[in-house]
Amino acid sequence: MKKIIFITLSLFVSSVHAACPGGKTYPVSLTFDDGPHPTLTPKVLKILEEEKIKASFFVLGEHFPGGKSNPANKWAYDLLEKEKKAGHYIGSHTFHHIDHSQMLSHHKMSEAEVKNNIVRSGALIKDYLNPILRLPYGAGSFHSSNPVVQKNNDLIMKTIKEAGYKHVGWDIDTEDWNAKKRANVLPSTLKQICQTHGGVILFHDIQANTVAHLREWIHAIRAEGHTIVGLEHFVPDVKKPLPAAICEMPAPGKPISKQSEDLSHHVHQAVQHIKKD
- Interacting residue ranges for Zn ion, rule: CB under 5 A: 33-34, 136
Decide whether 96 or 108 has the Cβ nearer to Zn ion: 96
Residue 273 CB, nearest distance to Zn ion (Å)?
A: 16
Decide whether 25 or 130 has the Cβ nearer to Zn ion: 130
Residue 247 CB, nearest distance to Zn ion (Å)?
A: 23
Decide whether 26 or 170 has the Cβ nearer to Zn ion: 170
Residue 136 CB, nearest distance to Zn ion (Å)?
A: 5
Residue 97 CB, nearest distance to Zn ion (Å)?
A: 5
Decide whether 175 or 248 has the Cβ nearer to Zn ion: 175
DSSP labels for the chain? -HHHHHHHHHHHHHHH--PPGGG---EEEEEEES---TTHHHHHHHHHHHTT---EEEE-GGGSTTGGG-GGGHHHHHHHHHHHHTT-EEEE--SS---HHHHHHTTSS-HHHHHHHHHTHHHHHTTT--SEE--GGGTTSS--SSHHHHHHHHHHHHHHHHHTPEE---SEE--TT-GGGGGGHHHHHHHHHHHHTSEEEEEETT-HHHHHHHHHHHHHHHHTT-EE--GGGT-GGGGSPPPHHHHSPPPPPPPPPHHHHHHHHHHHHHHHHHHH-
Decide whether 122 or 136 has the Cβ nearer to Zn ion: 136
Residue 205 CB, nearest distance to Zn ion (Å)?
A: 10
d(CA 155, CA 147): 12
Nearest residue (beta carbon) to Zn ion: 33
Residue 231 CB, nearest distance to Zn ion (Å)?
A: 17
Decide whether 58 or 128 has the Cβ nearer to Zn ion: 58
